[in-house]
Amino acid sequence: MSQASLQVEHLTLRRNGVAVLDDVSLHLPAGQTLALIGESGAGKSTLAYAAMGLVRPPEVQLQGRLMVGDVDVVTAPERVLRPLRGVRMGMIFQDASAALNPCFSVLSHLSEPLQRHRGLSKAACKARAIELLASVGIADPVSRLQAYPHELSGGMQQRVMIAMALACEPQLLIADEPTSALDVTIQAQIMALLLDRVRALGASAIFVLHDLALATQVADRVAVMYAGQIVEEGPAAEVLNHPRHPYTQGLRASAIEFDAERLQPIAGVVPPLSAMPGGCRFAPRCALASARCSAEKPELAAHDTVRVACWNL
C-alpha cells in the first residue's frame, strides 16, 4: 500500500517553453486524500493528469520527480506506464457525459479494463460488472448493463465512471472536478460514495476541486495552487479554516456561505503564464506585497503543521 502514495519533488512542467507547473513539491501519504484547489489556470488539472502520465514529452517538458509508488512517471516509458493506468492509478474525469463513449454500453465500458488488465473472460467480466455497479449504488445493476450513456442521468454516468476507475482496485484515485456538473444533492451522494470506496480499498485519492467548503469536508490534506505553484499546503481543516497565505485568505473570503454578509473577491486576475512576474507570483494582487515580494520568490516554509510560501508571515 505504501508504494502507491504520491511523491512529487521539484516538478516543473513546461508547455511551449512556458512553465505550467513550477517547482512543485508534494507528499501524499498512503491512505490519505488530497484536494487541489485554486483558480482556473493554476495547474491543478495539469498536475493530476501528469500523475496519471497523461501529459508527457514531447508535448511537454518535464523536470524533477513524480513518484507514484516506486515508479517515476517523469522518466518511465509508455510500456511501463500503460499497465499501471487503471490498475495502480484510476482516473475520474470532470465531464462524465464526454468521458464515456456514446457508442458503448455500460457493460463494454466496465469490461474494457477487466479484460485488458485482468484478462477476465466475458462471463467473468459481466459478473464483476454487476458487482461494481452495485458497489457504486446503482439500483438494479443487471438491467443497467446494456444501457448506453445517453440513457443515464448525469449522476448515474458519474457512478459508472467511478465503477470503471475502481474496476481494477487502484491504489491511487485521481478525480478531476468529479461533481462540478452535478446538483448539490447528487454531489453529496457522489463524494460520499467516492470516499467510501477509497477507504474500502485503503487507497489514496487526489480530488481537484473548486469548492472550498467541499474540500474541507472530503480531504485530509489540501494544496492551494496559484499560477503553477503550490502556495500553501497542509491539513485541510487547518488550511481552509485558518488560511495563512493571502491568496488562500482571498479564496476563503470569496467563498459563499449561507450567512455571508458581503463577499470580498480577490482583486485583479491571474497573470498569463507567459508573463509571470518575478518574485512572488501573487504579489501584483496582494494587499500585503512589499518590495521584497516582487523581487524574491518565497519558498514553502513550515508554519506549525502547514507549509506556506509567503514573505509576510
Partner 1 sequence: MKPDTQPLALPVSTARTAPTGSNAPTAHQALPLFSLLDVEKSFPVDGGRRQLRALDGIRLTLQAGESLALVGESGSGKSTLVRVMLGLESATNGRVLYGANEPASFSAAQHRRFAREVAYIYQDARGSLNPRMSVAEVLAEPVRLHALRDEGEIPARVDELLAMVGLPTDVRHKFPSELSGGQVRRVAVARALACEPKVIVADESVAGLDVSVQAQLLNLLRDLQRDHGLAMVFVTHDLGVAAYLCERVAVMYLGRIVETGPTREVLQAPLHPYTQALMNAFPRFDAPLSVSLQGEIPSASNLPKGCRFRSRCVFASEECQQTDPAQMSYSALRQVACLTPLTPLAAVVPA
Stretch that binds partner 1, among 82-90, 125-133, 212-220, 292-300 (CB under 8 A): 212-220
Which residue is listed with cell 485488458?
116
Q: Pick between residue 18 and residue 195 the one whose CB is nearest to partner 1.
A: 195
List 184, 200, 287, 301, residue binding partner 1 (CB under 8 A): 184
List 183, 296, 299, 304, residue binding partner 1 (CB under 8 A): 183
Instruction: Give yes or no for residue 123 binding partner 1 (CB under 8 A).
Output: no
Instruction: Give yes or no for residue 187 binding partner 1 (CB under 8 A).
Output: yes
Taking CA 74 as the corner, what is the angle to CA 37 and CA 45, rounded to the nearest 5 degrees?
20
> Total number of residues binding partner 1 (CB under 8 A)?
43
Q: Pick between residue 12 and residue 254 the one whose CB is nearest to partner 1.
A: 254
List 1, 263, 301, 313, residue binding partner 1 (CB under 8 A): 263
User: Taking the C-alpha atoms of 231, 233, 236 and 240 in order, what is their torsion angle to the nearest 10 degrees?
Assistant: -30
Q: Which residue(s) pair with 72 in the sheet? A: 67
Q: Pick between residue 98 and residue 267 the one whose CB is nearest to partner 1.
A: 267
CB 102 within 8 A of CB 149: yes
Q: Which amino acid is at 243?
A: P
CB 36 within 8 A of CB 46: no
The minimum distance between CB 295 and partner 1, in angstroms, equals: 26
Handedness of CA 227, 228, 231, 234 (dihedral sign): positive
Q: Pick between residue 200 and residue 260 the one whose CB is nearest to partner 1.
A: 260
| Pairing label, strands 204-208, 33-37 | parallel
Instruction: Give yes or no for residue 110 binding partner 1 (CB under 8 A).
Output: no
List 99, 201, 240, 273, residue binding partner 1 (CB under 8 A): 240
Handedness of CA 157, 131, 52, 206 (dihedral sign): positive
As a whole number of angstroms, the distance between CA 5 and CA 244 comes to 26
Residue 260 carries which DSSP code? -
The minimum distance between CB 271 and partner 1, in angstroms, equals: 12
| Longest Cα separation, the chain | 68
Instruction: Give yes or no for residue 262 binding partner 1 (CB under 8 A).
Output: yes
Instruction: Give yes or no for residue 131 binding partner 1 (CB under 8 A).
Output: no
Site map 52..91 versus partner 1, x via CB under 8 A: ----------------------------------------
Q: Pick between residue 62 and residue 193 the one whose CB is nearest to partner 1.
A: 193
Count the helices and strands in the chain (H runs, E runs).
12, 12
Which residue is listed with cell 465531464?
95
Residues that bind partner 1 (CB under 8 A): 39-40, 153-156, 180, 183-189, 191-192, 210-214, 216-218, 240-241, 250-251, 253-258, 260, 262-269
